[in-house]
């Protein structure tokens, strides 16, 4: 269940995009990994975390940008 308002989500998303750009292409993975760790601690729920981890996994034919539009 999402508790974000539409405006809040959009603002957060824009900040996230800018932060990825600011990290630079060579450091963006590190930046995103750090972000995940911090969010994981903030979440503090092992069961939920397992479920989210599974959802984020890139299965074949799913989650790749190329196939998203098909």
Partner 1 sequence: MPNDRDQRLAPMTNLQQYYIEQFLLDAVAKRDPNLLEVRWGTRVDGLHQGRDGVVVELATDTVSYATECDFLVACDGARSRVRQAVGLRMNGTSYEGRYVIVDIEIDLDLPTERLAWFDPPSNPGRTMLMHKQPDNIWRLDYQLHPTEDSEEMIREDKVTPVVAAHLEMMGIDRPWRLIWTSMYRAAAVSLDSYRSDRVVFAGDAAHLVPIFGVRGLNSGFDDAFNLGWKLASVIAGCSPDTILDTYSEERRRAWEVNVTSAMKSTEFMAPPSRGYELMRDAVLSLAKDHPAIATLIDPRQSAPIAYEGSRLNTVTRDEGSFKTGPRPGSPPLECPLIVDGKKRYLTSVLGSDFTLVWSGEGDAPSMVTNELHCAINLGLSVILLTIGAARLLSGTAGQLQTLHAEVVEGRFTELYDAAPSAVYLFRPDGHVCARWRIMRPGDLSNAIDTALGCGKAELS
Residue 13 in contact with partner 1, rule: CB under 8 A: yes
Per CB under 8 A, the list member of 10, 33, 38, 39 interacting with partner 1 is 10
For partner 1, give the closer residue by CB, 44 or 66: 66
Q: What share of the chain is helix, strand, coil (3-state, %, to 5)?
A: 70, 0, 30
Question: Is 51 an interacting residue with respect to partner 1 (CB under 8 A)?
Answer: no
Kindly tell me which of 22 and 37 has the beta carbon lying closer to partner 1.
22
What does the alpha-carbon distance between residue 65 and residue 7 come to, in Å, rounded to a whole number?
25
DSSP string, 50-69: HHHHHHHS--TTSS-HHHHT
Q: Minimal distance in Å, beta carbon 50 to partner 1?
A: 17
């Amino acid at each position: 269940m999402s508790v974000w308002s539409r405006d809040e989500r959009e603002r957060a998303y824009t900040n996230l995009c800018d932060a990825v750009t600011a990290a630079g292409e060579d450091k963006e993975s590190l930046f995103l990994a750090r972000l995940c760790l911090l969010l994981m601690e903030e979440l503090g729920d092992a069961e939920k975390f397992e479920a989210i981890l599974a959802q984020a996994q890139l299965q074949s034919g799913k989650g790749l940008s190329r196939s998203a539009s098909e």
